[in-house]
Structure formats: C-alpha cells, structure tokens
Chains A and B, each alone.
Chain A
Amino acid sequence: MAVELDVFVGNTTIMDEEVYQLWLDGYTVNDAVRARMEGGVLDEFDATADVLLSDTMDQYRTFQMCERLLHSPAKLANQLLFQIPPHRQTMLIERYYAFDDVFVREVLGKKLSKGTKKDLDDISAKTGVTLKSCRRQFDNFKRIFKVVEELKGPLVENIRQHFLLSDKLARDYAAIVFFANNRFETGKKKLQYITFQDFAFCAGQLINNWTVGAVGEGLWLLPLANMDVDLDKEFLQELKELKVLITDKDLLDQHKSLVCTALRGKTKAFNEMEANFKNLSRGLVNIATKLTNTKDVRDFFIDLVEKFIEPCRSDRWTAADVKLYLTHYTNSAHILDTFKHQVVWDRYMGVIKSCIFKMYHD
C-alpha cells in the first residue's frame, strides 16, 4: 500500500511558519518530520507520523512552488496562483531573505561568482549551515547584487523597494552588496573576531560618508550608476593630501603635542599613547593615502586592525581610551594652522573613528 499521490490545496494557501523555517534551513522532508516530532507538535495534537509526513510534504511542495515568486518578491503581491494574505507575504519574504550571520561572515567581501558557489560545501561544513540553505543565501546575495548593481539611487532604499524587505534586512543586504562590490578582505585570521554586524555597521558608515551618493543631493543627477556602491573617487584622491600630516615633521610634532596636552591625566594609557602616537598616526594616514589603490581598498579593514587596533590592544587600551584618543586626534588636527584639509579630514576620520569603535573588542 503506497500513497501514490497526496495533495492538499487551500484556497488561501496554508503555510506553517515552523515548517517554512525548516525548509529554509535546508532540512529534507524526513529530517523536518523528525524535527517536528521532537518539537512536540504531535503531543499538542493527537496525530500520527503519517499525518505529519503528509503535511510536511504538502508544505514543502507549496514552498517550492512559491520559491520562484520569492525570487522577485514584488511578483508575490500581484501573482494569482497563490492567495496569500499580505501579512503572510511579508513574513514569507522576510524569512526567505533572512540569512545566517555565520554564513554571511564567510562569504562577505568575496566575489559572488560561480567559483565561490563551488566552495559552499566547505562553508557548509565549517558553519554547520546546510548546503541547501547556504545556496539559498548565496543566491539571494547574488540576486540582490545583480538587481541593485544596475539601479540608481540610494542602495538601501533600492533594496527595500525591490525586495520588499524590512529596513534592517535591507541595510544588511546593502552591506553585503557593498562588501562584495569592493571586495573587502574579511577572511584573514586577524579579522575573524569581527562579526558580520560589526562589518555591516562599518559598511553603513562607508556608504553614508564615502560614496558618491553620500555627498549631497546635487550629485544625484549625475549619470553615475552605483552611487552608493562605489567609493567616491574624487574623495579618495583628496585623501592623498592628508599625507602632509605625517610627512611634514613640524606638523606631526605639533599634532602630537596638541593631542598629548589634551590627553594628559585623562587616561592610564597616556604613556603608551604618547609613545605610539607617531606610529598610529602614520598608520591611519597611510591607510587614507593608499585608498586610491583598489588593492588597498580591499585591505582597508585588515589595515585598520594591523595598523591601529592591534598596537592599541597590545598596549591594553580600553575602548574608552581608544575613543578618547581618536576624538582628540581628530579634533586636534583642526587647530593645526598649516593643515588645510579639514573637510576631507573630517569625512575620513568620522568613518575611521566609528569603524574602529565598532571593531575594537575581543
């Protein structure tokens, strides 16, 4: 006696959120049934494993049929095949585009190419996220990347409108797209401690301050694509001017004394700060001046860690120390009368400051 066929179709499409999650997580039908049984759904409701299997199969089929629509969520709202109440549609989309931080951390900054896709099984093994789920998440990244790549206007807004995602999720995807586009290196061992959310925050900072779109309304009319995705080339050029802060000996000494005066007595790590000032300043300014180089853009985060965070950490600066130091370091430059690049400096340091704050933890 084999069940040859077993379907259940509701006029309003019935979807169980729990099963949906299992499906998204890449469980096979049998695993899902097992998981549901362990979840105790049978205890709540007197039913047999057969019933559970039949239900799970139905739901899986429904999700598979819906998947095509979920690839372009706007279609879900005006397709006719499934009658799904709007709030359920929102849930379906949001969950479908949700991702695992552990997974995204692995592919962050990598090229969203077939090559990367081939490595997904390694990532799956490493993160414990099922391969199926990895593929879905990877494909989501790629799909969103492809769509927004060709769109003008603010990145987050584009993602939100085209994929009907929540603000939070749209921002995360913006970060992923931004990282993938600029190919930031995030995989080095030294960067392992930085979470996706840290990076997402940094990406937000970069998008909001260093891209073309960030500068102002006027530039929106420029026929530039990817205003939010690419860094502002002009700005990167201007950053070269900051070099004067480390090449001009007077300026460097003046800057140091100003910072030290302000810091004296305010922190236990004062001595280390004084001793390391030139090193640290050189590090930060060098990062700035090299950003015209695509290769160096990729190493932006690793440079931050190597040139600034690691030295501070080895000197046991607290987060408060870092904050204090950077604040004064930034502000003191304004008092330097021979330093003319205040605007560029602020635009640069504002981002550096907040990125370092975010990244400065264990």
Chain B
Amino acid sequence: MPGKLKAKIVAGRHLPVMDRASDLTDAFVEVKFGNTTFKTDVCPKSLNPQWNSEWFKFEVDDEDLQDEPLQITVLDHDTYSANDAIGKVYIDIDPLLCTEAASIISGWFPIYDTIHGIRGEINVLVKVELFNDLNRFRQSSCGVKFFCTTSIPYSYRAVMVHGFVEELVVNEDPEYQWIDRIRTPRASNEARQRLISLMSGELQRKIGLKVLEMGGNAVVGYLQCFDLEGESGLVVRAIGTACTLEKFSSGSASITCPHPSTAPPSNACNSPKDGKELVFGEELPLSSGPPTPFRALPSSSSSPPPFSPSKPCSRQSSSSDTDLSLTPKTEEPLSVRRRPGIFLCPSSPILSADTLSLPGSGPAGCGHGSAHRATTPALPFSTQSDSALLRKSVSFTEDLLLAASGMGSGGSAGKEAGPLKTLLRQQTQTTLEQREFPFFTLTSFPPGFLVHVGGVVSARSVKLLDRIHNPDEPETRDAWWEEIRQEIKSHAKALGCHAVVGYSENTSICEEVCILSASGTAAILNPRYMREGCLDVGSIDHRFDDPSPPNCGFCHIPYDELNMPFPAQLAYCYQCRRQKVPDVLFTTIDLPAEAAVTGKGCLIQARLCRLKKKAQGEVNATAISNLLPFMEYELHTQLMNKLKLRSMNALFGLHIQISVGENMLLGLASATGVYLTALPAPGGIQIAGKTPGDLNNEQHVAAIQKRINDAIAKNKELYQINPPELTDEGVGSPIPEPRQRSRIFRSHSESSDELSELDLSHGKKDAFVLEIDDTDAVEDIHSLLTDAPPPAGFHSCSTETMPGIYNWTSGIQMFTSVRVLRLNNTNLTNQGLNKIFTDLCENLLKSFYFKLRSTVPCCLCHLNFTVAVPEEELVQVSVTAVAMTFDKDQNQEKPPEKATTKGGSETEDQLQFPLELSADSSSTSPQPSKISGVAENTIVSTRAVSVDYGSFADRCSTWLELLRLKAHTIRRGSVKTSRRTQSLAHSVSSLEHCSPLPEGRSRSLCSSRSFGVGSVTMVKMTPLSFLPGTRIIKYLGIINMFFIRETTSLREEGGVSGFLHSFIAEVFAMVRAHVAALGGNAVVSYSMKDCVLMENPNKNQAQCLINVSGDAVICVRETDQEQTTNTGQTCGTIDGAT
C-alpha cells in the first residue's frame, strides 16, 4: 500500500547573509521524508538561489505519509567547516491524501529557524501519487477528511452523524530527555517540533481509522490539544465528531447554501434540508390544528409518551426517554406531563464512593424517577467541598460537577467504566445510547438536528501526573478521560438528555498537578441523523411524519418537570405556549439559527482569582480540588448576575476555563448572553441589606439598588431588549385585562415611560436577591457594575456570530493578543486579585475596541480568552478573535426568506390564540384564575421536588439555575399570554433597527479593506466557520501546526513583547503560506490552542510554543458566480497538468 511522494525545490529568496566576507550565501537544500534524504546542488553566492531541482521521489507507506511531515532544510555550504543550517520548513502532506482536498502543494514557504525566526523563503512543489487499487485501509486512513469547523462544513451535507471519536498518544518530551543536556537549543527545539508533528500525524491517522470503522468519511469539529506534562511526558489528544459527509454538486450548492451575510449563520449550514425545514415550520400550525391550549398538540418528535403522574418511573422506563414516537401525542395541558429521568440519589454521602457505589454507576443503578427523597437539604457546596478523595497513592481524583448550583463535586467513576457499560447495555436503547459516548463536538447543527437543550454539563478532575512508562499504552491518560466522559454522560442523563453537544475537553497543568476539564451541553437530538441511510430514503416521509420542532423547540425542557434534576422555575414557552421552558438557559453551543432572539446579544464574562497555598503533590491536589467547587459556584453566580444585569435569559458558547498556578487558581467564563424570546423575562436584581434596622445601611442599599436598576434599564436600551410585555403578573394577582392593554400601548408610544414601567416590574417580581452582608458582597456588586459596555459601534460575543446582527459586510480582521501581568505585591487578597484580573480582561477588551476603532460598526466575534499562570506571579491572558464589519444601514432583521415571512405567518396564527384567551378571560372570569391556580400548584409541587433534590443538585451538573443559592422570591408561573404584544414588540424593534446611520463610516471601512492584488496572495484568517460575503467552494485540508521559538538575545529583540510579537506574526505568516501553497485564500475555524511562554529576563532568554489549527479553504465572493466556476476549472487544470 505504498504511495509516491514527489518534491521539487524551485528557488529561494531573501535568504540571510551567511558568509560575512562576501555578504552572500552558498545555499543548498536537504529534503527529508522518513529516513530518506535528498540534496540539491549548492547554489553559490546568492541570496536568491535558483535550484530548480529534479523531482525527488520517496516511495513510502501511506501510513508514513499520514504520520510524517516532509522536512525541508536549507543550509549554507561551507567547504571547511560544518554546513550551517539556515532554517527548516515542515510540510504536512495530509491534505494531498484526500482526493477532495488539495492536489498539489506549491508556493513560497517561510524558512523557519527556532532561534532566528523566519529567514527567507523557499519555493517548493509537492505531489503525492497514491495507489488506489490496493487495500489501503489497514493501518492508514487516507481519505478521511478532517475539519476543525464545528458545524457541517459548507457545501457538504451530513448524510449521517456517527458520533464521538477520540484518541490520544503519548511520548517522552525531548526537552526532558538526557540528551537535551548536550545538544543545542536548536536541535532540542527541532526534535520537539518534529516529534509533535509526528504525533499529531499519528493521532489523526488513528482517529481516521476509528472513523472508517464507524463507517464515516470525515471528522468534523476536530479538536487537537497538547499537554506538555513536563517530566512525565507529552500527550497529544484529539476529539471530534465522525460523520458521513456528502458534497453538493456545485449547482445545488449555490442554490441551497444561503450565505451568512444574507442569512443567519447557522441557517447557512447548507443543509439540503434547509428548504424543507422551512416548509415544516409553515405546515406546523396546520397539522397541529388551532393552537389552543386545550387542543391536542403534537409534541416534538422526541417527546416521550405521556406518563400518568402516578406511575413511578422505573429505570427501564427511562429508556423511553429517547424512544421516538413520531405520532403526535395528545395530552391534557393541565395534566402533568412526565418524562422519566434518571436522577442521582446518592444513598450515602458521595465521599464514600471510593470502592463501590460510584457516582458514575449511581445514576444507572438507582434511578428514582419521582422518588421524593429527603436527603440532606443543606447547601450543596458545603457538603461537597470536602469531598476530596484519594484513589491511589499517586493519582488523586476529585471530579467537579458543575451542579445546578454550580458547585457539586464528587468522586469519579473512571475505573468503574466496565460495570457501567454493562448496565447501559441492559437498557433498551436507541442508536444514540448504544454509543459509549453520545458526544458531539459540533456547536451548530443542521436545522432540526437539535430537539431540546438541557443545559451545560461539565466535569473536572484533579490528577497528579506521573511518568508515562509505556508510550504505546497510554492507559492512565485514557482512563482519566474515560472517567470524565462517563461523568459528563451521567450528568446529561440526569438532565433527561441522551446526548452532549458542543463538547470540548481541556487541561491545565502546573508542575505535577493537572486539572482535566470537559464540558458540553446536554441535549436531545433528532435521531434521524444518527440512523443509517434514513436521510436519503426518508427525507420526504419525514416531512410529514416528523413534525419539525417549532423554532422554540430547543428551549423546551428535556427533563420531567416534576422530577427536575435541580431546582428551576419553569414557565410555558413564551413562543409556543405549549411546553415548559426554564427561566434561564446556559449552553456551550452556538445560537441555533431558528432561535428567536429579542434585541442583541453581548459578551458576558465571569472572572475569578483564588489564592492557594503553595504545596506539593497530594496536598496540593487536595487544596486545588477543595477550591474548585467554590470557584465554579462563584463563576456561576457572576455569570448569572451579569446576565440579569443585562436583562438577558440565556448564554450561548459558554466556555469556562480554570487554570492552575503555583499559588493561585484563575477562573474565566466567557459566553454570549442573549434574550431568548421563548424564555421568560429575567427578573431584576434586588439588593437586600443584612441589617434592616440600620438607616444608613438602608440608604446605602437603596443607592445600590438604584444603580443596579439604572444599569438594567440602560442595558435594555443598549441591547435593544424590548421583550413582549410580561404577563406573569396576571396569575398570582390578576391584573384586569384592559389595564394591561393600555399599558402595552403606552409603552409603545412613550419610550421613556416604558423604561420606568419595566423598572417597576423588576421590583415586583424579582427573583434574584443579592444580600449585602459583608464586604465580599459589596465587592461583587461593584464588580458587577464595573463591566463597561462596548463603545458605540462595537459589539462583542464569544459565539460565531452576534445574535441580532445579520448583515455582515466582507471586512474582517482576525487578531491575537497576549497580555501578561506580573503581580508584584506578594500579600494580595482574593479581592485584590479579582480586581486585578477583572481589570486585565476589561482593559484588554478596551484595547481591542480602541485599536479597531476605524472599523466600526463592527462586532468582535468568537472572543476566545485563554488564561494561564505561567509562573508564580504571572497571569497570562491570550485572546484570539475576529472583528467583522456589518452594515448598519440595512434592515437588521433576519433575512426575509427565513424569519420575516415565517415570523409573519406565525404571528398570524398565533394571533388567534391570544384573542381566544382574552375572550376567555373577559367572559368567563373564573377560568383564568382557575388556570393560574392550577399552574401555581404545579409550580409549587415542582418546587417541593426541587428542594428534595437540592442535595444532589451538586451531582447533576447543570447550569440551569442558581436562584436558590443566595435568595429568591417565588416567581409565579403563568399559562396565559398575549401573543399580540409580542408581535407588536417585534415590529417596534424592527423599526428601531431601521434607523438610518451615517453612511460614510461603513463605506470608509469598505474602502480601507479592499485588498488589491499583491505579489503575495492575501490569505484571510478567521476563527469562525465562514467568511462574510464569500462562499467557501472547497476545503483543502486541515492546518495543524506547532512551532517553538527561542531566543538568547531577548533584550535585542525588544524584550518579551518584541519576541512574542514577532513570533505570532511569524506563525500567522507560516499558516498563510501553507494555505496559499495549498491553493487556498483563507483559513476558517482558526484557533490558537496553546501559547506557552517561558522567560528568563536575567539570562536574556525566552522560549515560546504555539499551536494553531484551522481549515484551509478556497472561498469566492458571493457575487462572483462565474468566478466560482472558473476557479473550479483552474483547479481542474492544475490537477490535470501536474
């Protein structure tokens, strides 16, 4: 199964002067693959040598082709002494192994030296001939496509989504081998770069094999990470989602892929179903009949058959959780619908879990559907905080589950994976559940894929690193991750979900302590994507069988409302009025395209520092794991407060990072906050003094309260959140209908009035009380208020795109920024640290806004913050994001083909609903009260349950709520609504959006961004999966590069800043060069995974490691249809000619 690799060295340019005497260089090139090396002739005395070599041919196994990089070394010939190396180029030839990706690598590559950086460029041609007739799918997995993009790539459709693939390989770190003492830094760095290149090649090949085993042909959402474990080794691990992808023919692609600039981003997922889904949406009201609450409603496809309330949910019945009944179920709306859930009821305190009743197996073993167990109702974190638990003498485990309350923790169940699996097997299972880990690294999905979203699930575990003895059997690391994944899986189950989407894993290492983290979003998926062949066969049938969930479907709770896994307040969905939704929704995924959002979103960050004592080994690990729950809890509280302060009710793209340093822990959570129309309006924040009698204090409290309220009001205006009038009040204390109406109208006519109205409503139905009882709380509140909103013309978000902005123009500017702060003050308090850390993040954001001020109006998308504690007193924050311009002049509503028409028809249909309802309420006055009465009961019972389950809230990690943790008042549920208000509110907001803005600004930007044609191909880079204003016509392969740079003349290079600045610029340059050589003009889903900086200013030295990845693509401007075909032809001719 060999292949033939051919390489040709054409020329060099801008070479450095290697011979001081002549100011010239006698350069030649070594081309190495595996153990074979070829050399070119020496091109004497030239800084721009022309070698024009023959084709060097390597005959190799395709396994090697996948693992090995092509290594090109440029040297200066020296007659008398050893030849001096100028630099190297590593070329990953993987893209050439895929028929659909690039066919030739040809272009100028920067010659890179780990000590001197880029030293000139070299022009290289590389081709591969694979012998296709042989059985090449033995050890190799050529042909499997890899995508970093966390959605179905453009111009592809997912025939089937197979699921989670993972692999890890370990090795000794060359930096820590004995030989490193005697070799030069350059040799050591190169050994490391080469090893990592080999390891990631091997990893990719192994993952590819797994994908082929599963019957897939691609990995989407491929996420590869390095763990530099120091002495104990080097781990390269990757996760991804195996899929079977099918390419659109170019004709159909152009029709069925609306681009993000004209359509909301995830709409542009290019699913061929797109059109059909739309049809669904429109058909739905017809098939479901008049949507009154008393009529039979089709539940979403995955909704389980109704259970009678009295029937206890056995474990077996829980399997029907995922049973798919495609026929609509009829239900009495007032009867309580039950969904069996698996709940964790640790019969004994979790801490004892070491030997037998493992939490992991717990859920499977003892699912108490509706059992009301009065376990310790104490605050969960207090019970958990001491749950450190030692496994082996070396490996210390503490798993942290982000509980509803944000602070659960418990022993982990890694070793017990076996029993768990057997238990699982006993269940009647759907396709999904047959998988060991029903995880998906995707963050956005084809329409209809995501049925319900439960909430964020996450798990952390603290481990002590030990030397990896046998690199071929990386069992410990595997086991660790296995453990965490089991944990995640069980959390998802606890949320009534059978899958985890938006799944990611990461680590933080400090000395010998390692925190492993995994997080994702529990969800129920539409299984048709998981079933073999069903998409092709049944696509038409499905249209009728499978009622597409309404665009609010994903908000509906997947768990049983009577047996909620954690205390939450449920309300009927504000859009469909049929199903329950939680009051707050946290997720790690991107906002689904179909989701209706009120106003705009914004970046919400929670930042936290915690000091810890310096310690070694297990003591250290214990200390860290003791701190973790508190950190989780506080981060969550911060997020919640900030969310409420912005009057929003959902977080998307949530990413929580906890980094460990020698004497502190850093926590950073970033997400995009939005107001989901389907979810209830968030209550305000109420400040309560601890000592009510004190007059001074009360004034103080009142002052703070006023500030908070002002901030909320201001934010509402800023983010254009004009939610439909809240009708919650109607239930508990019925407000006469007429009054309500008049209020609605008034609020439209006088906006100032509206604000005060809304403010009042905060006061009334506040669910969230902040108690000022000590200085900490005051600090919290202050920090709450210090977050400055982005300046005018700017938006920011951590997700792919900004909810509420749809008209992107083509201007983009990707950037990476790194800031390191040295804490000089040794006796810092937690508060002091928090302040410093918060300021650091805020100042970074301010810097971005300032630097990019000429690009307004623009949005900083995919703001990805990474924190690290590289040394004892250093805090490092790295950010990669993209600034995207948008056109303010256009109508900012979603494009007509999607939302406006659909929304219109919806509104019409829904209008009947409030009319009927209001007729009801006015004519038969007792009825509303009856409804509300029952509703209240329901809620009350829910609450009762939730209190019971409060104790295990820590076990089921969801982010859905934390209301109960500090203080709260009861929120009244409601079954009544007024659709009309909502539609009115819609129209009002759309009018506001239309407000014209000065034209000049956006135009000036456009002109400044119009790139001419230079001699170097402009390569755009973006962390997003798309480029606004363009269409991706071809994916050329994955870019996965690892670089080391070292200097022994730090001062001369401009200090650490100068050093890192040029290194990052060099990394960008090398990525661009590789993309251009593949024939591409852009990198999408770009990310900088690692940026590890070590410095020693006293020795004038520094070293930095950077790992970047992304997808190389060819994209064309959306308007140039002809060019598209031309490019296609050109590619074709290149293929043919070469």
Q: Which of B110, B848, B1013 touches A86 (beta carbons < 8 Å)?
A: B1013
Within 8 A of B (CB), among A317-344: none
Interface 9-residue window, one of B163-171, B753-761, B816-824: B816-824
Closest to B853 in A: A45
Within 8 A of A (CB), among B841-894: 843, 846-853, 874, 876
- The reply to whether B1065 and A65 form a contact with Cβ atoms under 8 Å apart is yes
Query: Considering residues B1012, B1013, B1019, B1061, which has the most beta carbons from chain A within 10 angstroms of its beta carbon?
Result: B1061
Closest to A59 in B: B851
- The reply to whether B824 and A2 form a contact with Cβ atoms under 8 Å apart is yes
- The reply to whether B814 and A5 form a contact with Cβ atoms under 8 Å apart is no
Docked pose: A299 CA to B818 CA in angstroms: 59
- The reply to whether A8 and B1065 form a contact with Cβ atoms under 8 Å apart is no
Within 8 A of A (CB), among B793-826: 813-825
Does B836 sit within 8 A of A, measured CB to CB?
yes
Docked pose: A44 CA to B850 CA in angstroms: 10
Within 8 A of A (CB), among B1006-1020: 1009-1016, 1018-1020
Tell me the smallest distance from the CB of B117 to a CB of chain A, in Å: 9
Across the interface, which residues of A come within 8 angstroms of B1066, CB to CB?
81
Across the interface, which residues of A come within 8 angstroms of B1068, CB to CB?
9, 11, 83
Q: Which of A3, A8, A62 touches B821 (beta carbons < 8 Å)?
A: A3
Across the interface, which residues of A come within 8 angstroms of B853, CB to CB?
44-45
Docked pose: A2 CA to B847 CA in angstroms: 17
Closest to B816 in A: A9
- The reply to whether A89 and B1014 form a contact with Cβ atoms under 8 Å apart is yes
Tell me the smallest distance from the CB of A263 to a CB of chain B, in Å: 57
Docked pose: A85 CA to B1009 CA in angstroms: 8
Across the interface, which residues of A come within 8 angstroms of B817, CB to CB?
7-9
Closest to B832 in A: A1
Does B11 sit within 8 A of A, measured CB to CB?
no
Docked pose: A11 CA to B1068 CA in angstroms: 7
Does B1036 sit within 8 A of A, measured CB to CB?
no
> Given A1-B836, A14-B813, A83-B1072, A7 and B1064 touching (CB < 8 A)?
yes
- The reply to whether A85 and B13 form a contact with Cβ atoms under 8 Å apart is no
Within 8 A of B (CB), among A35-81: 44-48, 50-52, 54-55, 57-58, 61-62, 64-65, 75, 77-81
- The reply to whether A4 and B1016 form a contact with Cβ atoms under 8 Å apart is no
Q: What is the 8 Å Cβ interface bit string for chain A, positions 9-29, against chain B (1 contact, 0 not)?
A: 111111000000000000000
Docked pose: A147 CA to B7 CA in angstroms: 37
Closest to B1068 in A: A11
Docked pose: A45 CA to B1066 CA in angstroms: 31
Q: Which of A5, A48, A64, A80 touches B110 (beta carbons < 8 Å)?
A: A80
Tell me the smallest distance from the CB of A141 to a CB of chain B, in Å: 21
Across the interface, which residues of B come within 8 angstroms of A80, CB to CB?
108, 110, 118, 121, 1016, 1069-1070, 1072-1073
Does A270 sit within 8 A of B, measured CB to CB?
no
Does B1058 sit within 8 A of A, measured CB to CB?
yes
- The reply to whether A87 and B1012 form a contact with Cβ atoms under 8 Å apart is yes
Does B1060 sit within 8 A of A, measured CB to CB?
yes
Tell me the smallest distance from the CB of B258 to a CB of chain A, in Å: 26
- The reply to whether B813 and A79 form a contact with Cβ atoms under 8 Å apart is no
Q: Which of B110, B821, B849 touches A1 (beta carbons < 8 Å)?
A: B821
Q: What is the 8 Å Cβ interface bit string for chain B, positions 1053-1077, against chain A (1 contact, 0 not)?
A: 0111110111011101110110000
- The reply to whether B1065 and A81 form a contact with Cβ atoms under 8 Å apart is yes
Query: Considering residues A5, A9, A62, which has the most beta carbons from chain B within 10 angstroms of its beta carbon?
Result: A5
Across the interface, which residues of B come within 8 angstroms of A357, CB to CB?
none
Closest to B871 in A: A4
Across the interface, which residues of B come within 8 angstroms of A83, CB to CB?
1016, 1018-1019, 1068-1069, 1072
Closest to B1021 in A: A11
Closest to B1012 in A: A86
Does B14 sit within 8 A of A, measured CB to CB?
yes
> Given A82-B1065, A85-B1012, A85-B1018, A4 and B1058 touching (CB < 8 A)?
no
Across the interface, which residues of A come within 8 angstroms of B1064, CB to CB?
7, 9
Does B791 sit within 8 A of A, measured CB to CB?
yes
Across the interface, which residues of B come within 8 angstroms of A150, CB to CB?
none
Closest to A46 in B: B791
Tell me the smallest distance from the CB of B866 to a CB of chain A, in Å: 14
Q: Which of A4, A62, A81, A87 touches B822 (beta carbons < 8 Å)?
A: A4
Does B344 sit within 8 A of A, measured CB to CB?
no
Across the interface, which residues of A come within 8 angstroms of B852, CB to CB?
14
Across the interface, which residues of A come within 8 angstroms of B815, CB to CB?
8-11, 14
Across the interface, which residues of B come within 8 angstroms of A1, CB to CB?
821-825, 836
Across the interface, which residues of A come within 8 angstroms of B1014, CB to CB?
77-78, 85-86, 89
Across the interface, which residues of A come within 8 angstroms of B1010, CB to CB?
85
Docked pose: A44 CA to B853 CA in angstroms: 10
- The reply to whether B1057 and A57 form a contact with Cβ atoms under 8 Å apart is yes
Closest to A62 in B: B1061
Across the interface, which residues of A come within 8 angstroms of B1009, CB to CB?
85
Does A6 sit within 8 A of B, measured CB to CB?
yes
Does B1093 sit within 8 A of A, measured CB to CB?
yes
Docked pose: A48 CA to B849 CA in angstroms: 12
Across the interface, which residues of A come within 8 angstroms of B824, CB to CB?
1-2
- The reply to whether A4 and B1056 form a contact with Cβ atoms under 8 Å apart is yes
- The reply to whether A55 and B850 form a contact with Cβ atoms under 8 Å apart is yes
> Given A7-B1064, A62-B1061, A83-B1072, A78 and B820 touching (CB < 8 A)?
no
- The reply to whether A51 and B843 form a contact with Cβ atoms under 8 Å apart is yes
Docked pose: A47 CA to B845 CA in angstroms: 11
Q: Which of B818, B821, B1015 touches A7 (beta carbons < 8 Å)?
A: B818
- The reply to whether B1060 and A5 form a contact with Cβ atoms under 8 Å apart is yes
Docked pose: A282 CA to B825 CA in angstroms: 83
- The reply to whether A52 and B850 form a contact with Cβ atoms under 8 Å apart is yes
Across the interface, which residues of B come within 8 angstroms of A5, CB to CB?
818-820, 876, 1055-1057, 1060, 1093
Tell me the smallest distance from the CB of B485 to a CB of chain A, in Å: 35
Docked pose: A85 CA to B818 CA in angstroms: 24
Across the interface, which residues of B come within 8 angstroms of A50, CB to CB?
843
- The reply to whether A78 and B1015 form a contact with Cβ atoms under 8 Å apart is yes
Across the interface, which residues of A come within 8 angstroms of B1062, CB to CB?
65, 81
Tell me the smallest distance from the CB of B526 to a CB of chain A, in Å: 37
Docked pose: A159 CA to B1010 CA in angstroms: 28
Across the interface, which residues of A come within 8 angstroms of B14, CB to CB?
75, 79
Across the interface, which residues of B come within 8 angstroms of A14, CB to CB?
813, 815, 851-852
Query: Considering residues A6, A52, A64, A86, which has the most beta carbons from chain B within 10 angstroms of its beta carbon?
Result: A6
Across the interface, which residues of B come within 8 angstroms of A2, CB to CB?
821-822, 824
Docked pose: A55 CA to B1073 CA in angstroms: 27
Across the interface, which residues of B come within 8 angstroms of A86, CB to CB?
1011-1014
- The reply to whether A51 and B847 form a contact with Cβ atoms under 8 Å apart is yes
- The reply to whether B1061 and A81 form a contact with Cβ atoms under 8 Å apart is no
Q: What is the 8 Å Cβ interface bit string for chain B, positions 989-1017, against chain A (1 contact, 0 not)?
A: 00000000000000000000111111110
Docked pose: A2 CA to B1065 CA in angstroms: 24
- The reply to whether B821 and A4 form a contact with Cβ atoms under 8 Å apart is yes
Across the interface, which residues of A come within 8 angstroms of B849, CB to CB?
45, 47
- The reply to whether A10 and B823 form a contact with Cβ atoms under 8 Å apart is no
> Given A46-B791, A83-B1068, A89-B1014, A3 and B819 touching (CB < 8 A)?
yes
Closest to A87 in B: B1012
Rank and list the top 10 A-B pairs by shortest CB-CB distance, nearest first.
A5-B820, A86-B1012, A11-B814, A4-B820, A8-B817, A9-B1064, A10-B815, A7-B1061, A11-B1021, A4-B822
Can you list 27 pairs linking A and B with CB atoms under 8 Å apart?
A: A1-B836, A6-B820, A7-B817, A7-B818, A8-B815, A9-B817, A11-B1019, A11-B1020, A13-B1065, A14-B851, A47-B849, A47-B850, A48-B846, A51-B846, A51-B847, A57-B1057, A65-B1062, A77-B1014, A79-B1016, A80-B1069, A80-B1073, A81-B110, A83-B1018, A85-B1011, A85-B1012, A86-B1011, A87-B1012
Q: Which residues of A contact B (CB under 8 A)?
A: 1-14, 44-48, 50-52, 54-55, 57-58, 61-62, 64-65, 75, 77-83, 85-87, 89
Given contacts A7-B1064, A62-B1061, 12 further A-B contacts (CB under 8 A): A4-B822, A5-B819, A6-B1057, A7-B819, A7-B1061, A14-B852, A57-B1057, A77-B1016, A81-B1066, A83-B1016, A83-B1072, A89-B1014
